[in-house]
C-alpha cells in the first residue's frame, strides 16, 4: 500500500538557505584569518558549489589557483571555516525557509518519520537544528558527511538512510534543492520533490523530475506547482505529499 511514512530532508538550501548567508562568509573569514590571499565572491562560490563538500572545494580551488596546499593545510582552513560558520548560526544569520517549520510540524503530528541527509558535518547540522527549531528536534537521525565514504551526487547517503529507517522507497519522499542532491536521490530511486534555494541552477534535461515547486508556501505566501499534483491549499501539506506519492505509484503501474 502506498502511503507516506518517511520524509528525507536535505539541509543546506532545503531546510534553510545557508550557502550565501553563512558558508560563504565563513570561508572568506577563514582565508583572512590564515593570511590566504583568496576572496570568493558570490559568482565564484556558486560555481564552486558544483563540487560537493567544503574540503573538496578548497582542494580544487587551491590547485586551480596554483597554490596546491597540502591536505593538512586544507584541513586547517576547513576547521577555521567550520568555526566561523557555527558563529554565524549562533548570531541567527540563518532562518528556516518558507513553510518548512509548518510542514515539519504537521508531519511530526501525523507520525511521519523525518530524517536529514546532508553533505554537511554533524556539528553543523546539530547546531543548526538546535537554533532553528529552538530545542525541538523532529528528526529521527542524520546522515552527515562523516557517515558515508561517498557524498552526493553518489546515492550512498540516501541508500544508507533508507536501510537505517527500514521504510519502503514507495512510502518515502525526498526534498532536495541542488543538482548533486537530485542526482543522489533519483539514483537511489526515491520519489523526490525539488524546491529551489536562492542559488540559481539550471536543471539538467537528464534529471527526470515529476514534482517541482517554487516553495513550500504558507498561509500568507502561496506556493506554486511548476510540475506535480494540484495544490488544494495555498501551501504544501501532508495531503499534497500523499497525492504526489499516489501519482508516482500510478505512473509505475
pLDDT at 171 over 80: yes
Quick one: fold of 6-16+96-252? Rossmann fold (3.40.50)
> Longest Cα pair distance anywhere in the chain, in angstroms?
59
| Grid coordinates given for 189 | 530511486
CA 171 to chain CA centroid, Å, is 20
User: First CA to last CA across the chain, in angstroms?
Assistant: 13
Q: What is the H or E stretch that residue 175 is in?
A: strand 172-176
Which residue from 120, 193, 128 is spatially nearest to 157, judged by alpha carbons?
A: 120
Which residue from 163, 194, 161, 198 is spatially nearest to 180, judged by alpha carbons?
A: 194
Sketch the domain layout of the chain as residue ranges.
6-16+96-252, 19-90
- Position 253 confidence tier, pLDDT thresholds 50, 70, 90: low
pLDDT at 1 over 80: no
* Per-residue CA distances from 207 to 21, 53, 210, 212 (Å): 27, 21, 10, 12
Strands lying side by side in the sheet with 192-194: 142-143, 113-117, 6-9, 172-176, 192-194, 212-213, 225-227
13 neighbors 67 (Cβ within 8 angstroms):
no
Sign of CA dihedral 101, 103, 104, 106: positive
194 neighbors 219 (Cβ within 8 angstroms):
no
Q: Is the pTM of this model over 0.95?
A: no
Per mean pLDDT, which range of 94-108, 178-192, 199-213, 224-238 is the poorest?
199-213
CA distance 233 to 248: 21
Q: What is the pLDDT of residues 37-79, one digit of tens each?
A: 999 999 999 999 988 889 999 999 999 999 989 999 999 999 9
Count CA within 13 A, CB hemisphere, residue 13.
26
Q: What is the pLDDT of residues 123-145, one digit of tens each?
A: 889 999 999 998 889 999 999 99
CATH of 19-90, one of 3.30.230.70, 2.30.110.10, 1.10.150.240, 3.90.1150.10: 1.10.150.240
CA distance 9 to 175: 5
Amino acid at each position: 500500500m502506498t502511503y507516506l511514512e518517511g520524509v528525507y530532508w536535505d539541509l543546506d538550501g532545503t531546510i534553510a538557505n545557508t550557502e550565501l548567508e553563512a558558508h560563504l562568509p565563513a570561508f572568506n573569514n577563514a582565508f583572512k584569518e590564515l593570511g590566504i590571499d583568496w576572496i570568493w565572491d558570490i559568482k565564484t562560490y556558486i560555481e564552486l558549489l558544483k563540487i560537493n563538500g567544503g574540503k573538496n572545494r578548497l582542494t580544487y580551488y587551491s590547485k586551480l589557483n596554483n597554490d596546491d596546499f597540502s591536505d593538512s593545510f586544507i584541513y586547517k582552513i576547513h576547521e577555521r571555516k567550520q568555526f566561523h560558520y557555527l558563529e554565524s548560526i549562533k548570531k541567527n544569520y540563518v532562518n528556516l525557509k518558507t513553510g518548512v517549520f509548518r510542514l515539519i510540524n504537521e508531519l511530526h503530528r501525523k507520525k511521519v518519520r523525518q530524517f536529514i541527509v546532508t553533505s554537511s558535518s554533524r556539528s553543523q547540522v546539530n547546531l543548526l537544528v538546535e537554533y532553528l527549531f529552538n530545542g525541538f528536534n523532529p528528526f529521527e537521525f542524520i546522515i552527515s558527511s562523516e557517515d558515508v565514504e561517498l557524498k552526493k551526487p553518489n546515492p550512498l547517503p540516501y541508500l544508507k538512510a533508507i536501510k537505517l529507517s527500514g521504510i519502503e522507497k514507495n512510502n518515502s519522499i525526498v526534498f532536495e534543492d541542488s543538482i548533486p542532491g537530485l542526482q543522489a536521490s533519483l539514483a537511489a530511486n526515491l520519489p523526490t520533490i525539488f524546491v529551489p534555494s536562492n542559488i540559481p541552477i539550471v536543471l539538467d534535461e537528464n534529471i527526470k523530475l515529476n514534482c517541482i515547486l517554487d516553495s513550500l508556501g504558507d498561509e500568507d505566501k502561496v506556493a506554486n506547482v511548476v510540475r506535480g499534483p494540484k495544490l488544494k491549499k495555498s501551501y504544501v501539506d501532508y495531503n499534497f505529499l500523499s497525492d504526489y506519492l499516489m501519482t508516482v505509484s500510478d505512473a509505475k503501474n
